[in-house]
Amino acid sequence: MSVRIGILTSGGDCPGLNAAIRGVARAAYQTLDAEIVGIRAGYRGLIDGDYQVMQQSQFSGILTMGGTILGTSRTPFRNMRVVEEDNVDKVHAMKMNYRAMRLDCLVTLGGNGTHKTANLLSQEGLNIIGLPKTIDNDIFGTDFTFGFHTAVDIATDVIDRIHTTAASHNRCMVIEIMGNKAGWLSLYAGMAGGADVILLPEIPYDIEKVAKVIEDRSRIGKNFTIIAVAEGALSLEEAAMKRKEREAAWQADEFYSVSHRVASQLEKLTNVECRTVIPGHMQRGGSPCAYDRVLSTQFGVHAAHLIKKGKFGVSVALKGNDIGENKLEDIAGVPKPVDLDHQIVKAARNINISFGD
């Protein structure tokens, strides 16, 4: 069976994208009479018709490479149906270019925004398969996304390295970990790195309770405290505000990032010297860990199986130990926040890690 497969990577990059692309390509070349079209810079390339027919050799040597050989961009879903200054009807353009590229199907690798657009294109009649990537692990219907475990390893390493400075200087160190809406990365890295406090977007914190952790630790001779804070964590007061009101308050403040706000308040409340560390995009960079290489490859291979079966309008998923898929319409745009009864949250509480609540 001869089949022409488009592939694009959209949204923030993360480790494992190339491993997943390679997985799709190798399985497709092996099991189908496949031709693969690489679309550049995510949906931007589909809108602009920016693509190349790939050679098999282009998928060699990329398993361990970070980033994406296809390039990526953020093309927000909310703008997809909005005609902007360039006067381009983006949905129409994507459908026309899909046809101009003579695609039989399109594999989209991305996070929540990518999946929403994938679902839109599927509803517009295109044959779409999504692959769930993001360091945030916040895609509904899959136990894990690829990229997440690598980011956990990186953030854990940061916390490990910070411990020595914290202990040597008797400091409180506040490490800001990526994750705006979901705190999975902070939860896992905080637990793995032995943080004393983990602050998540899902659990508004009381800064006085965080200060008490520092004081209680000093009282029993522990002269330093490690706080892992998700970039989207909110205080009780902030959580009670409307988003615009909150953002205005932050902009008026000298501290725009959560770690700086937390550290400055804690210094005032406790008199303990505080420092902040923001590893930022390092958490998305470099080579995927072994787990992500395997998961990305499995996801890619499963996408090729689905193409062979002619099953579209789905996103590949990890469910327990099995690789399966979900209908795009069932998962696109559905959030996956940290469940407050999650066993890791409970285990953390059982070893006296504070969530500031």
Q: Give the one residue of 8, 166, 173, 178 binding ligand F6P; rule: CB under 6 A.
A: 178
136 carries an active-site annotation: yes
| Cα-trace Rg, the chain | 22
d(CA 255, CA 131): 37
Which strand (E) or helix (H) includes residue 244?
helix 243-252
Residue 68 or 127: the one with the smaller Cβ distance to ligand F6P is 68
Residue 176 makes contact with ligand F6P by CB under 6 A? no
Residue 228 makes contact with ligand F6P by CB under 6 A? no
Residue 72 or 354: the one with the smaller Cβ distance to ligand F6P is 72
**Burial group, residue 291, by CB count within 10 angstroms (0-12, 13-18, 19+):** middle
Q: Which residue is nearest to ligand F6P (CB)?
A: 178
> Which residue of the set 13, 136, 153, 196 is catalytic?
136
Residue 111 makes contact with ligand F6P by CB under 6 A? yes
Tell me, residue by residue from 67 to 86, as one string, x for binding to ligand F6P by CB under 6 A and - for no binding. Answer: -------x------------
Contact between 106 and 98 (Cβ < 8 Å):
yes
Residue 179 makes contact with ligand F6P by CB under 6 A? yes
At position 38, the amino acid (one-letter code) is: G
In sequence order, what are the beta bridge partners of 174?
Answer: 227, 276
Stretch that binds ligand F6P, among 81-89, 174-182, 243-251, 261-269 (CB under 6 A): 174-182
Residue 201 or 313: the one with the smaller Cβ distance to ligand F6P is 201
Residue 45 or 183: the one with the smaller Cβ distance to ligand F6P is 183
Residue 136 makes contact with ligand F6P by CB under 6 A? yes
CA distances from 119 to 147, 302, 327 (A): 22, 19, 9
Residue 178 or 226: the one with the smaller Cβ distance to ligand F6P is 178
d(CA 36, CA 53): 6
Contact between 304 and 28 (Cβ < 8 Å):
yes
d(CA 55, CA 337): 40
d(CA 259, CA 138): 22
Residue 61 or 256: the one with the smaller Cβ distance to ligand F6P is 256
For residue 229, give both structure tokens: 């804070």
**Burial group, residue 286, by CB count within 10 angstroms (0-12, 13-18, 19+):** middle
Binding residues for ligand F6P, rule CB under 6 A, total 11
Q: How far is the CB of 179 from ligand F6P (least distance, A)?
A: 5
Q: Give the one residue of 22, 133, 284, 336 binding ligand F6P; rule: CB under 6 A.
A: 284
Q: How far apart are the first and last CA of the chain?
A: 58
Residue 154 makes contact with ligand F6P by CB under 6 A? no
Q: How far is the CB of 13 from ligand F6P (least distance, A)?
A: 8
Q: Give the one residue of 39, 54, 103, 135 binding ligand F6P; rule: CB under 6 A.
A: 135
Residue 133 makes contact with ligand F6P by CB under 6 A? no
d(CA 221, CA 236): 29
Q: What is the DSSP string of 134-163?
A: -TT---TT-S--BTHHHHHHHHHHHHHHHH
Residues designated catalytic = 136
Binding site for ligand F6P (CB under 6 A): 12, 74, 111, 134-136, 178-180, 231, 284
